[in-house]
Amino acid sequence: MRNLLKANQREAIAILVLAVLLTLYLTTHPTGANTYVVTIWANQCLILALAAIAQFFAVIVRGIDLSVGAVMALTNCVASYLVIGSGLDMAFGIAAVLAVGVACGLFNGALVVFGRIQPIVATLATASLFTGLALLLRPTPGGRIDYDLADAFTLDVLGIPTALIIAAAVIGLFWVPLRRTGLGLGLYAVGSSEQAAFQSGMPVPVIRLASFAMGGLFAGLAGLYFSFVTTTGDAGIGPNYTLNSIAAVVLGGVALRGGVGTLTGAMAGAFILKTIGSLMFFSGLPPLAQPFIEGLILAGAIAIGGAGVLRVKNRLEVFGK
């Protein structure tokens, strides 16, 4: 157990922080802790958590994805046309939305793998492209998502918010099995040392492509879930989510240099970030001070994480590998 904790130290801290914040949130909330409050909170958190997972898949293979928000916007706009109508229509619509997400991810991946463009630069350009496509679909916000379907995903099941069930399912049914495959291990290997992964016989380009595709899938899921929450399409939602997804993965203990961190950690980071925001809203602080405090907390959390280097006794250690 101690070994397990030590190995997942960053995630353990993140989850602990989250628990404290959530308790604080629920006790300060004016109406107290009830299903409704928790559901609203969980829905907001899940959107960012899915975006953070999309970012996680870019970061884990030593990349960064500046198009997460743009893919969300695009898939949100697609959903606002297709996720409505008969059951079959909607099933097709959801599949199409997710396919768009995967396609965007694959496009990013292809630019990185075959075009040899640095991920940050490639996704900077594709973000513009995807945003343009979203604007083409929805020059102004509009469209509609089937309300019943949206409710099914954004309310609760026997008092447990559906969003939390989805979050648990992502971890239990997707991440844990993935971690037991060569692909799951390969993600870390490629991010930590591409050379070592290659020499160990891993197909590095395939792994990178797969990682970007999974990133696209989750950006699509984030866009889809955003659609369920807002039940409308809006091409302008991107920029905020991109930057917040980066902040979330960092808070969740994922190292930007790649190869370190977990999907669970990235989700926890997203939940923390959103909870801080919600907490602020009900905290009685002057509303105008909130952006500053949010920034301060983010900077503080990161700086504390970085303060360890001040104690380093050999100056060379700060340079890492």
Partner 1 sequence: MSRPEHPIVRLRGVSKVYGATRALSDVDFACFGGEIHAVLGENGAGKSTLMKLVAGVIQPTSGDIEVDSVAMRLKGPADAMARGLVCMFQELSLVPDLSVRENLMLGAVGTGLGRLNTGVVRRAQDILAQIDGGAIGMKTRVADLSLAEQQQVEIAKALTRDPKLLILDEATSALNASVVEKVFQLIRAERDRGVGVLFISHRFHEIESLADRISIFRNGTHVDTFDNGACSYGQIISKMVGQRIDDLFPPKPAPDPHAQEVLRLDGFGWADTLKDVSIVLRKGQITGLGGLDGQGQGSVLQGLFGLLRGTEGRCLVGGTPVAINHPKHAKNPKLGIALVPEDRKTEGLILDQSIAQNLELAALGTDGINASDPAIYRPFLDALELKCDSLDQPVSQLSGGNQQKVALTKWLALGPRCMLLADPTRGIDVKTKTQIYALLRRLAESGVAILLVSTDYEELIHLCDETHVFYQGRIVRHLTGEDVTAEAIIAASLNIPASAQTAQSTHA
Partner 2 sequence: MNTIRQNLPRIDALFPYVGTVLLILGGSYFFPQILGIEYLAQQLQIAAFLGVLALGATIVILLGHIDLSVPWVLGGAAIISTSLAGSGDPAFIVAAIPMALLFGALVGVINGVGVAILRIPSMVWTLAVNSMLLGVAVLNTGGFNPKGEASVTMTWLATGNLAGFPVAFLVWMTVTGIMALILKRSAFGRYLSAIGYNEKATFLSGVSTPSVIFAAFAIAGLCSALGGIMLAGYANQAYQSMGDPFLLPTIAAVVIGGTSILGGRGSLIGTVGGVLFITLLTSILSVMQISDAWRNIIFGVIIISMLLLQTLRRKGN
The residues binding partner 1 (CB under 8 A) are: 3, 7, 180-183, 185-186, 188-189, 191-193, 195-203, 206-207, 210, 259-260, 312-316, 321
Q: How far is CA 32 from CA 25, 95, 154, 282, in A?
A: 9, 38, 20, 11
Instruction: Compare residues 146 and 194 and give the one whose CB is closer to partner 1.
Output: 194
Picked from partner 1, partner 2, none, the partner binding residue 186 (CB below 5 to 8 A depending on kind) is partner 1
User: What is the rounded distance in angstroms from the CA atom of residue 267 to the CA atom of residue 260?
Assistant: 15
Picked from partner 2, partner 1, none, the partner binding residue 131 (CB below 5 to 8 A depending on kind) is partner 2
User: What is the rounded distance in angstroms from the CA atom of residue 256 to the CA atom of residue 136?
Assistant: 33
Instruction: Compare residues 299 and 312 and give the one whose CB is closer to partner 1.
Output: 312
Instruction: Compare residues 16 and 120 and give the one whose CB is closer to partner 2.
Output: 120
Picked from partner 2, partner 1, none, the partner binding residue 182 (CB below 5 to 8 A depending on kind) is partner 1
Picked from partner 2, partner 1, none, the partner binding residue 291 (CB below 5 to 8 A depending on kind) is partner 2
Min separation Cβ 96 and partner 2, Å: 20
**Two tokens, residue 140:** 């102004």
Min separation Cβ 299 and partner 2, Å: 4
Picked from partner 1, partner 2, none, the partner binding residue 240 (CB below 5 to 8 A depending on kind) is none
Nearest to 270 by CA among 124, 32, 56: 56
**Two tokens, residue 166:** 């989805």
User: What is the rounded distance in angstroms from the CA atom of residue 257 to the CA atom of residue 273?
Assistant: 21
User: What is the rounded distance in angstroms from the CA atom of residue 147 to the CA atom of residue 80?
Assistant: 12
User: What is the rounded distance in angstroms from the CA atom of residue 224 to the CA atom of residue 145?
Assistant: 10
Min separation Cβ 31 and partner 2, Å: 27
233 strand-pairing partners: 142
Min separation Cβ 156 and partner 2, Å: 32
Picked from partner 2, partner 1, none, the partner binding residue 127 (CB below 5 to 8 A depending on kind) is partner 2
- Interaction site with partner 2 (CB under 8 A): 64, 66, 111, 115-118, 120-122, 124-136, 139, 239, 243, 246-247, 250, 256-257, 288-296, 298-299, 302-303, 305-307, 309-310, 315-316, 318-319
The vertex-224 CA angle with 223 and 226, nearest 5°, equals 65
Min separation Cβ 64 and partner 1, Å: 18
Phi first, then psi, for residue 30 (nearest 5°) are -55, -35
Instruction: Compare residues 152 and 196 and give the one whose CB is closer to partner 1.
Output: 196
142 strand-pairing partners: 233
Nearest to 234 by CA among 131, 148, 306: 131
Picked from partner 2, partner 1, none, the partner binding residue 202 (CB below 5 to 8 A depending on kind) is partner 1
Are 84 and 147 in contact by the 8 Å Cβ rule? The answer is no
Instruction: Compare residues 144 and 179 and give the one whose CB is closer to partner 1.
Output: 179
User: What is the rounded distance in angstroms from the CA atom of residue 74 to the CA atom of residue 80?
Assistant: 10
